[in-house]
Each structure stands twice: as C-alpha cells, then as structure tokens.
Amino acid sequence: MKDKLFDVLGMGLSGLCIIHCIVLPLVVLLYPAANFTENHLIHDLIFVLIVLAALLAFLPHAIKEKSYKLLVLPVIGVVLMIVSNSIFHHEKSSINLILSLVGSLCLIVAHYKHFQAKNCCEKNH
C-alpha cells in the first residue's frame, strides 16, 4: 500500500512540477506580484520531494524483484531533473524547461506503470 501511495504522490508532484514550469511564468507575466513562486527554495523543495517519492516507490520493488530494469525510466527522469535543477538551475532557458518537463514526464509514466503493475499483481493474489 505504501508504494502505491508513493506512486500517487510521485505522479502528483511531477505534475505539479510541470504546472509550475509552464503556468507560473505566464502568471508572473500577468501578475508580477506572484514572482514569489519563482523562489529557488520552492524548486528545491519540489525536486527533493519528487526524488524521495521516486526512491520510496521504485527502489524497494526493484530490490525485492531483483529487476533493476524497473529503474531505467525513473533514473532517466531523476537524472534529467538533477541536471536541470543543478546545472541550469539559475538560468531561465528553454533547455532548463525542456529537461524539467521531460524528466517529470518520465517519472509520471514510470509511476503510472508501477502503479498499474502493483494493482495487477494484487488482483492476481
């Protein structure tokens, strides 16, 4: 049950990241007082929570199943987000946006597949 919770949490946080990356720059253009949402602390907090949810959802299952191929898509997503959050963190560039979006999408797909697999396995038992 816990890993399902982490999958749902991970999908939600990754979705929040996508919304933050796409919608908030538009909001700031229209309403400059909303600039507090561009605070790096918010980026760091969302990033840490996304990585924690991924670790807690995928790692125990991969270790239990001894199938590390389950980690390929989540690792790609986390690595893209690490690169975006560390190397391009202070730049307002399209590469930062693209890396964050692709990383978040990889994690959403990975969490969704993991969630489906866990539901399937529980129904068969």
Q: pLDDT of 35-67, one tens digit each?
A: 665 667 777 888 889 989 888 888 888 888 888
Phi, psi torsion values for 14, nearest 5 degrees: -65, -40
pLDDT in tens, 75-108: 999 999 888 888 766 666 788 888 989 999 999 9
- What is the Rg, in whole angstroms, of the alpha carbon atoms belonging to the chain? 16
- Residue 107: the pLDDT is 93
Q: Where are the alpha helices (DSSP H) in the chain?
A: 2-30, 40-65, 72-86, 94-124
What is the reported pTM? 0.81
Residue 1 has pLDDT above 60, yes or no: no
